[in-house]
Amino acid sequence: MAGFGDLVQKAFYLGVGLAASAGEKAGEKLSDLRSQAQKLADEMVTKGEMTTEEARRFVDDMIKEAQTPTVEPSTNPPTGEPRRIEILSEDEEPKSSETKEVDTMRQQVQALQEELRRLKREL
């Protein structure tokens, strides 16, 4: 049983080490972002494009935005199942509505090409 305790202790230390490492990397990225935003703000102040107060707010806003997690809205709520993908082989015929759309687009492209040729001749 002593081996199991050592294993649990090592797993715990591994988790703590990984968390500390991730925290350090995140801190480095955040400080890099702060310095880059500060440089940009300083340049804009030098050029007279913003005031020092606006520059301070700009840097603070950039840091706040970087710290907030982004959650992308999903059109389909997760169901726990993988998303189904329909694969068509080249031999399969497209649906009739798709064929009509493709034909319409081809006609539009041909009409635009003819218009372009006509305009080139006029020049």
pLDDT digits (tens, 9 = 90+) for 11-36: 888 888 888 888 788 778 878 888 88
List for the chain the helix, strand, coil content (%; round to 5). 70, 0, 30
* Rounded Cα gap, residues 26 and 80, in angstroms: 30
CB 30 within 8 A of CB 66: yes
pLDDT value at position 79? 66
pLDDT value at position 107? 92
Mean pLDDT of the chain: 79
pLDDT digits (tens, 9 = 90+) for 59-104: 888 888 877 776 655 555 566 778 777 777 666 565 677 778 888 8
